[in-house]
Amino acid sequence: MYSTLKRIARHGAKGFYEGKTAELIVQAMKKNNGLITLADLRDYRAIERSPVRGFFHDYEIISMGPPSSGGICLIQALNILKNYDLKSFGWNSSQYLHFLAEALKNVYAVRAHYLGDADFVNVPIDTLISDKFAQKMSENIHFDRAVPATELSVANPFQFEGNHTTHYNIVDKNGMAVAVTYTINSGYGSKAAVDGAGFLLNNEMDDFAIKSGNANIYKIVSFSPNLIEPGKRMLSSMSPTIIRKNGKFFMAVGAMGGPKIITSTLQTILNVIVFDMSLQEAINAPRIHHQWLPDKIYVEKMFFSLDVLDKLRAKGHTIETMGYHSEVTAILFDKETGELIGAPDFRWNGKASGF
């Protein structure tokens, strides 16, 4: 042992994977019908990989990513458990242990189905350690009953991969900007893929009115100008937008979300220009939507005060609460710092990055 340590001290990794130590390992292999050869040892490389990161309340958790499942499972379990008032149940109380066990059951089921060496299989790490995914796993967790392991509906991280309209913006250091929206219409488009080509076919025909006055899947109505005709293109709500001030780049913005693309993009612009919000505030801020018909103000759930909603009703509005409205992304020129600020939408999984 002492000589082995000396060889490692002298030659680093080679003191183990090559030379005398390697030869001793291979001899031991031969003696015991093992398979490892000198070449296997010589070719082995340690790979440096990024850790996985998550948050448990105010604590940043930094741990090991694939090929270990450790960090992912740990963060997933914490992501699920941070939504329960664990302390109030009492340490090792039956209620605490029930939630702990149910969380672990889900985490290990996901581990079995989706984790492996990321050099060989696609491991969607960001999704797996997201709060959104924890929410999905938590749908299997009930206050008062255990879900049998075999009946568990194992959360699928790939269902969060983009299957819908996408908007992105790019601005370079000279203020040259692009704002791009592309759409396959609803989730997975027509749900038919082109064999061997690796892409889906869209269902953009739904953006036409199949009959004057008909509503499409987004319940939006259009009349004869948007009837289907040979060679004609359907009426979209895509709003990739570049805003300039005094001839210089100010903002690139756009969204996904069917007809809500327009209202979400509009409110983001108003929040920045009129209400002086930072870009991130402007995007995260609660939104409403009205598309003429149905004659309703759609408001994002739990975001608007009852007082405001009552006052709108008193003016004759019908209010309907909905889940999150669309996804906006934008880049803004910050006049104070001269920096370009990118902001994704907390509602989905956009990202901002710069070089």
Instruction: Indicate which residues carry an active-site annotation.
Output: 165
Ramachandran quadrant class, 198 (left: phi over 0; alpha: psi -120 to 50; beta: rest): left
Q: Quote the Cα angle for 173-347-200, to 5°.
A: 80
Q: For ligand DON, which stretch binds (CB under 6 A), given 97-105, 188-196, 233-241, 332-340?
A: 233-241
Among positions 126-185, residues that touch ligand DON (CB under 6 A) are 164-165, 183, 185
Among positions 198-217, residues that touch ligand DON (CB under 6 A) are 204, 207
Of 69 and 326, which has the nearer Cβ to ligand DON?
326
What is the number of alpha carbons within 13 Å of residue 32 lying toward its C-beta?
A: 9
Q: For ligand DON, which stretch binds (CB under 6 A), given 97-105, 250-258, 291-299, 317-325?
A: 250-258
x/- mask, ligand DON, residues 261-300, rule CB under 6 A, reads x---------------------------------------
For ligand DON, which residue of 79, 127, 237, 263 counts as binding (CB under 6 A)?
A: 237
Q: For ligand DON, which stretch binds (CB under 6 A), given 52-60, 83-91, 236-244, 317-325?
A: 236-244
Of 125 and 261, which has the nearer Cβ to ligand DON?
261
Q: How far is the CB of 180 from ligand DON (least distance, A)?
A: 13
How many residues bind ligand DON (CB under 6 A)? The answer is 13
Nearest of 234, 241, 252 to residue 183 by alpha carbon:
234
User: Could you give the 3-state DSSP secondary structure of residue 53?
Assistant: strand
Maximum distance among all Cα pairs of the chain, rounded to whole angstroms? 89
Q: Which amino acid is at 118?
A: A
Do the beta carbons of residue 157 and residue 133 sit within 8 Å? yes
Q: Is 257 in the site for ligand DON (CB under 6 A)?
A: yes
How far CA 25 is from CA of 2, 20, 38, in Å, comes to 16, 9, 8
* Other residues' Cβ atoms within 10 Å of the Cβ of residue 258: 26
Token pair belonging to 264: 């979400």
Q: Which residues bind ligand DON (CB under 6 A)?
A: 164-165, 183, 185, 204, 207, 236-238, 256-258, 261
